[in-house]
Structure 1
Amino acid sequence: MSSTAHAHALDQVHEAAAPLLEIRGLEKHFSLSGDFLEQLKFKGGRIVREQRHVHAINGVDLDIQRGEALCVVGESGCGKSTVARTVMGLLHPSAGEIRYDGRRIDDLSHQALMPYRKRMQMIFQNPYASLNPRMTIQQTLEEPIRLHHPGWSVQRIKEQVAEVMTSVGIAADWGGRYGHEFSGGQRQRIAIARALAVDPEFIVADEPISALDVSIQAQVLNLLMEAQRERDLTYLFITHDLAVVEHFGTRVAVMYLGTVCEVAATATLFATPRHPYTQALLSAIPRLEDDRPQPIRLTGEVPTPVNLPSGCVFHGRCPYAEPRCGREVPTLRPQADGSRVACHAVEEGRL
C-alpha cells in the first residue's frame, strides 16, 4: 500500500471513530434570584446583591458514537433531563460546548440550527402533554415534514406519513382522530412516529416509557430498538430504570447531582461497577437469588443542587471518602476495562 493510500485509510478509521455527539464541560445553572431589583438586599446597613442558582449540571463530558444507545441513569433531580434538553437546544448551556458531527451547535442561532433539527429529534416523557390536542394525528405527523421539506408535494408528504405510521404499528384510520382518543401507549407510538417522520439520525429519548403502564413498556421499548436497527439510529436515552438500561443500552453514563460518576459498556457496568455510587445503585436492583449480597445502604442526605458540596459531590455519603474527596473534584479517568470513573478511591487503588 502506498503512503498516500495508507494515510487515506487512517483518515477513514479516524472518521469512523469520531463521535456523532461530543459534550465537553457542559454546565447549566438556573437562577433563583429573580430580576435585578429582586436580587438587591439590605444587609449590615448597606445594599448588597445576592444571586442564588440551581446547579443542575456541572462539567458533564460525554461522547456518543454513531449507531449506539447511550443510556444516562441516576436518581430524580440528578440532571439527566437537563442534559437531554440542553443537547437539543431547548435550554442554553451556562458553560461548555456541544459538537454534533464535528460542528459546534450550542452557540448557533435558531436559523443556523434548523438543518440540525431535522437530523436530531426528541421523544418526550409524557405523551399526554407532548401531543397538540387541537391537531389530528395526520396533522401532527405532517407538521415536521412540511417544516423541514417545504418543497415536497402534498402527495409525497402523505406517503411519508403513511410509511412512518406503518413502521410504528399505527393503523391508517388513526390519522383523522385526535390525541385524547388514544391510550398512553398509543400516544407514545404517535410521538415516536412524529420523531421518525423527518428521517433523523439521532434521537434523544427522555424517559419515553416511564409514564406508561408496565404491560406496554416492553412494546414501546422493542419498537425503539426495531427503529434503531432499521434506520441506523443513534440514541441518547434518559432513564432511571436499570432493567431498561440492561436491555436497551450499548453504554451507560451514571449521574449524581449534576456530574457524571462513571461511563462504561453496559455489560461491564453491570458485571463490575467501579464507582461507589454505581455500586449502591446496582445493589438496589431486586434479584431472585438466594446468595445475593445485601443492598448497600447509603448514609446521609442527598445535598441540594443550590448549595453544592465542595470536592466530590458524593463524598458526604461515600463509605470510602477521605479528606482529599472533600477538597478536590475528581475527573473521569480511563480504566483498564474501558470504562471511565471519576473517583479518588479508584484512582488511588483503595477501591
Structure 2
Amino acid sequence: MNAVATQASPATPTSSATDSLLEIRGLYKHFPLAEGFLEQLRFEKGRLVRRNDSVHAINGVDLAVRRGEALCVVGESGCGKSTVARLVMGLLSPSAGEIRYDGQRIDDLRGKRLLPYRQRMQMIFQNPYASLNPRMTIQQTLEEPLRFHHPEWTTPQIHDKVAEVMASVGIDPEWGKRFGHEFSGGQRQRIAIARALAVDPEFIVADEPISALDVSIQAQVLNLLMDAQAERHLTYLFITHDLAVVEHFGTRVAVMYLGTVCELADTRSLFARPRHPYTQALLSAIPRLEDNRPEHVRLSGEVPTPVHLPSGCVFHGRCPHVTERCRQEVPQLIATDDGNRVACHGVEEGRL
C-alpha cells in the first residue's frame, strides 16, 4: 500500500518561473573497484594481469530543474538516483560533466567558495534514524546550521528562528530538550526537515525521505513537504521509487535505468502516455482498481551489471522491441511531439 497525499498536486510552474535553477550536463560517476595498484593485480589463467574495473554508476545524465517545481527521479534500486542526489549536493565529485546552480558552475568549487551554495541548497536524507546526531539534543541540532551560516546572529535571534521552524513543521517546542532516539521515525523526519528549512534554502534535494517510514506516516510527511514548497517557494529534486508518490507530488518525472535517463516528461503526460518501454513496464506494475488499467508488462532477463555496461542502449537486453540498432548505438534524449523527451530508437523511428 502506498502513501497518497491528501492535498492537491503542485501546479505546473508558470512561464515566468520555468527558468532552470539547477542544470546537470553530461554527468558521469565511476567508482573504482580497486583503489591501489596491488589490489588491481590478479591471476587469470596462470598469468598476472592488472584489472582496473569500475562501477559505472552515472553515465551521461542531462537534467534541468526549473524554479518552483518538484522534479522526481525514479527507477529501480541501483539505477543511480541517490548518486545523482549526492553529486548535486557536493557529497561526491563527478568523474566528468558539470553541475550549474543559478548559472554558476558549482561542481568544481571548494571551501569558502562553495559556502554560499551550502545555505541555498539543503538535503533531506532517506534514513531518519541515521541522519540525526545521537549526541545532540534537538535544540542543538537545529541551532547548528544557524550558528554556522549566521555567526553574527545573537542567541535570542537563533532561538527565535529555531522556534519558528519547529512550529512550521508541527514540532512541539518542548522537543528541543530531548535527543533523537526518543522519537519515532516520522517525528525524526520532521526534525530533519526542520533542520533543512532552518537556513531558508531555495532548493532541497530529498533522497527517498519517506521510504523508511510507516505507511500511515508517509502521507503526513509528504503533505508537510508540499506545504513547505507552497509557503517558501521551494524547488525540489525528489528521489523516490514510489510511483504513487510521484503522481501526486511531482511536477515532472525523470526515469532512470542503469545510470542513464531514458525518459523525461511532465507528470500528467508520463502517466497518461509513457513512451519508453521501461517506463511502460514500470507504470504497468502499479496496482490499480480500474477496468481500463494497462496490461502488466513482464520484462525478461536480468539488469546488467554496472561494471560491464552493455553496448548500445542499456535496456536492449530486456526490451521487447529491440533491434540491431538498439544493440549497437546509444540512444540520445530526443524531443517528442508532446514536448517531452525520450531516449529510444523505437520512438525515434516511429515504431513505438
Instruction: Check whether TM > 0.5.
Output: yes
SS at match of 2:123: strand
1:16-59 deviation digits (Å, cap 9, x = unpaired): 54310000011111111231221134567875431011111100
Task: Report the Cα offset of residue 14 of structure 1.
Answer: 10
User: What residue in structure 2 maps to residue 99 of structure 1?
Assistant: 100
SS at match of 1:285: coil
Paired with 1:284 and 1:231, the residues of 2 have a C-alpha distance of 35
User: What residue in structure 2 maps to residue 188 of structure 1?
Assistant: 189
* Match runs of 1:95-174 below 5 Å: 95-174=96-175
* Match runs of 1:251-266 below 5 Å: 251-266=252-267
Q: Which has the higher contact order (CA 8 A, sep 6+)?
A: 2
User: What residue in structure 2 maps to residue 175 of structure 1?
Assistant: 176
SS at match of 1:151: coil
Paired with 1:286 and 1:25, the residues of 2 have a C-alpha distance of 35
Paired with 2:118 and 2:335, the residues of 1 have a C-alpha distance of 33
Correspondence 1:295 to 2:296 = yes
Alignment-mate amino acid for residue 268 of structure 2: A
User: What residue in structure 2 maps to residue 3 of structure 1?
Assistant: none
Is the Cα contact below 8 Å between 2:17 and 2:66 reproduced in 1? no
Correspondence 1:29 to 2:30 = yes
User: What residue in structure 2 maps to residue 215 of structure 1?
Assistant: 216
User: What residue in structure 2 maps to residue 84 of structure 1?
Assistant: 85
Question: What percentage of aligned pairs have identical amino acids?
Answer: 78
Alignment-mate amino acid for residue 324 of structure 2: P
Question: Which is richer in helix?
Answer: 1
Paired with 1:190 and 1:33, the residues of 2 have a C-alpha distance of 38
* Match runs of 1:271-282 below 5 Å: 271-282=272-283
Task: Report the Cα offset of residue 252 of structure 1.
Answer: 0.2
1:145-173 deviation digits (Å, cap 9, x = unpaired): 00000111001011110000000000010
Alignment-mate amino acid for residue 236 of structure 2: Y
Distance 1:119 1:36, change over 3 A: same
SS at match of 2:100: strand
Is the Cα contact below 8 Å between 2:80 and 2:259 reproduced in 1? yes
Paired with 1:271 and 1:14, the residues of 2 have a C-alpha distance of 23
Is the Cα contact below 8 Å between 2:60 and 2:260 reproduced in 1? yes
Task: Report the Cα offset of residue 97 of structure 1.
Answer: 0.4
Distance 1:43 1:292, change over 3 A: closer
User: What residue in structure 2 maps to residue 8 of structure 1?
Assistant: none
Paired with 1:294 and 1:21, the residues of 2 have a C-alpha distance of 37
User: What residue in structure 2 maps to residue 285 of structure 1?
Assistant: 286
Paired with 1:95 and 1:14, the residues of 2 have a C-alpha distance of 32
Alignment-mate amino acid for residue 304 of structure 2: P
Task: Report the Cα offset of residue 336 of structure 1.
Answer: 1.4
Task: Report the Cα offset of residue 289 of structure 1.
Answer: 1.7
SS at match of 1:75: coil
Alignment-mate amino acid for residue 162 of structure 2: V
SS at match of 2:177: coil
User: What residue in structure 2 maps to residue 339 of structure 1?
Assistant: 340
Task: Report the Cα offset of residue 281 of structure 1.
Answer: 0.4
Correspondence 1:71 to 2:49 = no
Is the Cα contact below 8 Å between 2:138 and 2:175 reproduced in 1? yes
SS at match of 1:30: strand
The total of aligned residue pairs comes to 339
Unaligned regions of 5+ residues in structure 1, if any?
Answer: 1-12
Distance 1:327 1:161, change over 3 A: same
Alignment-mate amino acid for residue 248 of structure 1: F
Paired with 1:168 and 1:179, the residues of 2 have a C-alpha distance of 16
